[in-house]
């Protein structure tokens, strides 16, 4: 890509290295192109064996999280917490550690990090952290109401925190089956249209709620981003768009290449494609359950349930249901299991 590094040289100082890594991570998030994560990873590999500054450890942990290398991310952030007294570094470490545990379904561990974050950096981001844990452990309605109340009180005090809270409210509203989910996510996109995570959440919500036309509007121009492209292909099929087959063919080639490279960074997207486009439920179930072993966000769980039901995989269904029961987790997006 045009904004790729001009050469492979390591920046001349830790500060210059931090600026370049930040740029690459930001570009990856803005464009959805994982190559930028690879460029950043290459820089760190070239410094293997050298002790990193705490600032660079935070960035390396953030990069590892983005690459789904969760254990490596934990190690870096816990090292930062053990030796740094810089408030922003500690807050970033605590928040990311909490997010990793939430993503992996380790809610007790996540709660502990949320509590430490609240003690050190109270505000809407810390309140969102608590709300996510509560919502996924049986208290979604009260979590939504509490966060909505403090968000109204804190509107404008911290724009980043406000947008973070709106994204969290959208997720919990969708979990509860509230139509207000779309409004929360639209608020985020109105101020940060490059937030691809929220864009995918909203587009997927439109598909699930029989509004593929709006999903097509949201995903137009984002065919290079795997999860948005898969959602777009599904929406195109729903409206009998003649361009669906060409997009599906490009995605099929892209996933085949990723499998050949051994890169399964977007395994959820592959499973969704196999289930909803190629209609291969056994393959979809295998990839969805493999993805769910390390990532247990609601959309991961929903996909695993749908694929297991379609593949008639009773063992996987039993495992998923037992985990949901253990955490008292219910979600309006999950398929009926009666």
Q: Compute the distance between CA of residue 170 and CA of residue 192 in angstroms, rounded to an integer.
A: 15
pLDDT at 315 over 80: yes
Residue length of the chain: 338
Q: How confident is the model at residue 118 (pLDDT cuts 50, 70, 90)?
A: very high
Q: What is the DSSP code string of 178-211?
A: -TTHHHHHHHHHHH-TT-HHHHHHHHHHHHHTT-
Which pLDDT belongs to residue 257? 86
Convert the pLDDT of each residue in 1-35 to its tens digit.
767 776 677 777 889 899 999 999 999 998 888 88
pLDDT at 176 over 70: yes
Distances (CA, A) of 219 to 7, 211, 232: 33, 13, 6
First-residue to last-residue Cα distance in the chain? 49
| Chain centroid to CA 98 | 13
pLDDT at 151 over 80: yes
Residue 8: phi and psi, rounded to 5, are -95, 5
Q: Kindly state the average pLDDT of the residues 179-199.
A: 95
pLDDT at 338 over 50: no
Which residues touch 116 (CB under 8 Å, ≥6 apart)?
A: 94
Q: Compute the distance between CA of residue 106 and CA of residue 133 in angstroms, rounded to an integer.
A: 9
What is the chain's mean pLDDT, rounded? Answer: 92
Q: Compute the distance between CA of residue 184 and CA of residue 73 in angstroms, rounded to an integer.
A: 29
Cα angle 273, 305, 317 (rounded to 5 degrees) comes to 130
| Chain centroid to CA 333 | 17
Q: Compute the distance between CA of residue 221 and CA of residue 78 in angstroms, rounded to an integer.
A: 39
**Cβ atoms of 203 and 231 closer than 8 Å:** yes
Pair of tokens at residue 67: 């690459």
Q: Kindly state the average pLDDT of the residues 270-299.
A: 96
Which pLDDT belongs to residue 263? 67
What is the torsion angle, in degrees rounded to the nearest 10, for the CA atoms of residue 111, residue 37, residue 271 and residue 202? 60
Cα angle 212, 214, 217 (rounded to 5 degrees) comes to 115
- Give the rounded percent of residues in the chain with a pLDDT score beyond 70: 95
Q: Compute the distance between CA of residue 234 and CA of residue 240 in angstroms, rounded to an integer.
A: 10
Q: Kindly state the average pLDDT of the residues 165-176.
A: 97
Q: Compute the distance between CA of residue 209 and CA of residue 215 in angstroms, rounded to an integer.
A: 10
CB-count exposure of residue 23 (10 Å: 0-12, 13-18, 19+):
middle
pLDDT at 193 over 90: yes
pLDDT at 337 over 60: no
């Amino acid at each position: 890509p045009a904004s790729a590094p001009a050469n492979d040289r390591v920046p001349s100082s830790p500060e210059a290295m931090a600026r370049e890594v930040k740029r690459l991570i930001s570009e990856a998030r803005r464009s959805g192109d994982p190559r930028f994560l690879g460029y950043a990873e290459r820089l760190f590999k070239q410094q293997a064996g050298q002790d990193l500054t705490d600032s660079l450890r935070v960035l390396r942990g953030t990069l590892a999280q983005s690459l789904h290398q969760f254990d490596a991310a934990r190690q870096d952030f816990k090292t930062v917490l053990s030796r740094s007294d810089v408030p922003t570094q500690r807050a970033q470490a605590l928040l990311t550690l909490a997010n990793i545990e939430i993503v992996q379904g380790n809610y007790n561990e996540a709660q502990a990090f949320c509590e430490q974050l609240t003690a050190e950096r109270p505000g809407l981001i810390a309140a969102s952290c608590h709300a996510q844990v509560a919502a996924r452990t049986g208290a979604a309605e009260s979590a939504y109401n509490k966060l909505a109340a403090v968000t109204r009180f804190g509107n404008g005090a911290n724009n980043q925190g406000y947008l973070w809270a709106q994204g969290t409210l959208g997720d919990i509203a969708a979990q509860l089956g509230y139509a207000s989910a779309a409004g929360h996510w639209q608020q985020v996109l109105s101020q940060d249209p490059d937030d691809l995570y929220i864009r995918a959440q909203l587009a997927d919500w439109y598909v699930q709620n029989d509004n593929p036309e709006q999903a097509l509007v949201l995903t137009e121009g984002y065919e290079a981003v795997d999860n948005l492209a898969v959602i777009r292909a599904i929406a195109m099929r729903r409206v009998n768009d003649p361009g669906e087959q060409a997009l599906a063919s490009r995605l099929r080639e892209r996933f085949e290449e990723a499998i050949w490279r051994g890169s399964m960074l977007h395994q959820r997207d592959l499973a969704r494609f196999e289930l909803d486009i190629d209609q291969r439920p056994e393959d979809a179930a295998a990839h969805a359950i493999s993805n769910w072993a390390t990532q247990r966000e609601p959309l991961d769980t929903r996909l695993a349930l749908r694929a297991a039901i379609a593949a008639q995989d009773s063992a996987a269904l039993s495992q998923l249901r037992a985990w949901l029961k253990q955490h008292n987790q219910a979600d309006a997006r999950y398929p009926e299991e009666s």
